[in-house]
Amino acid sequence: MDLINTLIRLRIIPLLEKWNIINLVLGIIDIMAIAVAFQFAYLINYHEFGGNFFFERRDMTLLFLGILPVWLITLYIIKVTEIPRTKRYRTLLFEYLQSAIAVSIILLAIYFIFKLAYISRLFLIEFTFLGFLFLFMARTLEYKVFRIYRAKGYNYINVVLIADDSSIGFIEDLRNNLDWGYRIAFIFSNSQNIREKYGNIYKILPEKSKMVLHELMEVDTIDEVIYLKNEVFPAEVRNTIRSCEELGVVFRLRHKDLQLNLTNAFTSMIGNEKFLTFINIPYKPFALAVKKFMDINFSVILLIILSPFMLLISLAIKLTSEGPVIYKQARVGLRGRQFNLYKFRTMVVNADKIREELESQNEADGPVFKIKDDPRITKIGKLLRKTGLDELPQLFNVLKGEMSLIGPRPPLKSETEQYKRWQLRRLSVKPGLSCFWQIIPDRNSVKFEKWMEMDLAYIDNWSPRLDFIILFKTIKTVFNRTGN
């Protein structure tokens, strides 16, 4: 506990959160736990056959590199790669045991299919047991750290409650368990008891003003709307779900019917309460696991491969114009949260000020700003934009978890303020380094509303296959120089 309090006192975790690398750090810890388990199993079974470390043997190194993604994807599928908010430790134990059993079955299947007689079956069993043990121990420690961290007011989720008298118990749970990390932004209720009990603590609005909720979700950062009323009014629920889906806000409906099953919702738990959870993007656990795995691994591989080339681009920018190599700009990400987007600088240093003078020459419709022969762009910048290479530093945004490889391009705050309501739904997923719009020849001639429709079509039809198609077409765009 002293170690946990020290981490928080030194603001190490807030620093990691500020730089959006918490998930990256957690992923590295998972990889290290699996690697340590593999090493221990190797020492037990193969130490006398050569080397103290498994990576001294090519065959064992290849085996580890083959097993690692299988185990990580399994963890992603059962959703234990992120720190939970309200799970019991025995639930965590069961989930990690699930992953170990699944991995052991996969490994044994590979063993027999490919006839890997040189590998001991006992080694595989010991490895999966040790992997389960080390992963569970690491996640338990992380869970304890984050419970204390959230209790101090960090890493929270903004929620709006639609409540009645029966909701008081749940509201008390949120208040008494600050380590869950749920911050009540507003409560919509006609309950006099709720108003008397929480009127001085939370902003409570009468249910008749629930239309205000639609406006609140546009201007405030609202992550979830939770419907807690004992009596469910279908029309009211449908309208709220529709509004949440338009803006990409999660909607939860408390229910006690264990047999209830809907195709567009999945069951979730907060504390001891069971909810039907509605999201406006395809809910495909395996596909989402593949996307997350692809984001992390592809960005690392690309950064390693392209690092010499990126160094040359940096030198070219530095030698041909004044100013920093990397341009940082505040962009809007998932559910309206802002982050700094990284790009190779392609414009003169005072480009933002010059834009005000060029506003009358804007050739793009909608809230975006585009000029065909923008005088602010440097000579090197024209080449970088034409090939799309100016976007390469965004691989760091992907690695930090602020962006994905594929997804709608991140807009400026000034642009989102001019969005129509239906266009705000593009903020319901992580922004991407590339998208449908990015791979279209002469993309700047595409009308703004068509661009928005393309982004929503991506969200509605998303799959790993679609991501791969866009990724390969993006590479083709770079070589064909069909960018702006």
CA 368 to CA 375: how far, in whole Å?
A: 17
Mean pLDDT value of segment 120-125: 85
In this predicted structure, which of 65-69, 161-165, 304-308 has the lowest mean pLDDT?
Answer: 65-69
pLDDT value at residue 33? 92
% of the chain surpassing 90 pLDDT: 24
pLDDT value at residue 21? 61
Does the pLDDT value for residue 247 go beyond 60?
yes
CA 150 to CA 310: how far, in whole Å?
A: 38
CA 112 to CA 47: how far, in whole Å?
A: 24
CA 336 to CA 427: how far, in whole Å?
A: 7
Q: Report angle CA 453, 456, 462 to the nearest 5 degrees.
A: 135
CA 118 to CA 247: how far, in whole Å?
A: 55
Pairing between β-strand 224-227 and β-strand 157-162 as defined by DSSP bridges: parallel
Q: Delimit the domains of the chain by residue range.
A: 2-151, 157-278, 285-480
Does the pLDDT value for residue 20 go beyond 60?
no
Structure tokens at 234: 């279908």
Does the pLDDT value for residue 16 go beyond 60?
no
Does the pLDDT value for residue 123 go beyond 80?
yes
Does the pLDDT value for residue 235 go beyond 90?
no
Q: Give the N- to C-terminal CA distance of the chain in Å, as an integer.
A: 54
Between 45 and 6, the more confident residue is 45
Q: Label residue 394 exposed, middle or buried (CB < 10 Å: 0-12, 13-18, 19+).
A: buried
pLDDT value at residue 354? 77
CB neighbour list of residue 315: distance below 8 Å, 6 or more residues apart: none
Does the pLDDT value for residue 264 go beyond 70?
no
Does the pLDDT value for residue 243 go beyond 50?
yes
Model confidence pLDDT, tens digit, residues 341-399: 999 999 988 777 777 777 767 766 667 677 777 888 898 998 888 888 899 999 999 98
Between 475 and 174, the more confident residue is 174
Whether the full predicted model's pTM is greater than 0.75, yes or no, is: no
Mean pLDDT of the chain: 82
Cα torsion 302, 306, 307, 311: sign: negative
CA 455 to CA 419: how far, in whole Å?
A: 13
Does the pLDDT value for residue 192 go beyond 90?
yes
Model confidence pLDDT, tens digit, residues 271-290: 888 898 888 766 666 677 67
- Picking from 133, 200, 142, 199, the residue whose alpha carbon sits closest to that of residue 25 is 142
% of the chain surpassing 70 pLDDT: 86
pLDDT value at residue 119? 81
Structure tokens at 338: 């802002």
pLDDT value at residue 146? 83
SS (H, E, C) the chain: CHHHHHHHHCCHHHHHHHCCCHHHHHHHHHHHHHHHHHHHHHHHHHHHHCCCCHHHCHHHHHHHHHHHHHHHHHHHHCCCCCCCCCCCHHHHHHHHHHHHHHHHHHHHHHHHHCCCCCCCHHHHHHHHHHHHHHHHHHHHHHHHHHHHHHHCCCCCEEEEEECCHHHHHHHHHHHHCHHHCEEEEEEECCCHHHHHHHCCCCCEECHHHCHHHHHHHHHCCCCEEEECCCCCCHHHHHHHHHHHHHHCCEEEEECCCCCCCCCCCEEEEECCEEEEEECCCCCCHHHHHHHHHHHHHHHHHHHHHHHHHHHHHHHHHHHHCCCCCEEEEEEECHHHCEEEEEEECCECCCHHHHHHHHHHHCCCCCCCCCCCCCCCECHHHHHHHHHCHHHCCHHHHHHCCCCEEECCCCCCHHHHCCCCHHHHHHHHCCCEEECCHHHCCCHHHCCHHHHHHHHHHHHHCCCHHHHHHHHHHHHHHHHHCCCC
- Picking from 280, 455, 435, 434, the residue whose alpha carbon sits closest to that of residue 366 is 455
CATH C-level class of 157-278: alpha beta
pLDDT value at residue 258? 47
Between 302 and 152, the more confident residue is 302
CA 155 to CA 395: how far, in whole Å?
A: 24
pLDDT value at residue 39? 92
Q: Report angle CA 385, 386, 391 to the nearest 5 degrees.
A: 40
- Picking from 428, 436, 396, the residue whose alpha carbon sits closest to that of residue 295 is 396
Model confidence pLDDT, tens digit, residues 26-45: 888 888 999 999 999 998 88
Mean pLDDT value of segment 321-328: 91
Q: How many Cα atoms within 13 Å fall on the side-chain side of residue 311?
A: 6
CA 50 to CA 472: how far, in whole Å?
A: 42
Confidence category of residue 193, pLDDT binned at 50, 70, 90: very high
Mean pLDDT value of segment 226-242: 87
Model confidence pLDDT, tens digit, residues 280-321: 766 666 677 678 778 888 888 889 899 999 999 999 999 988
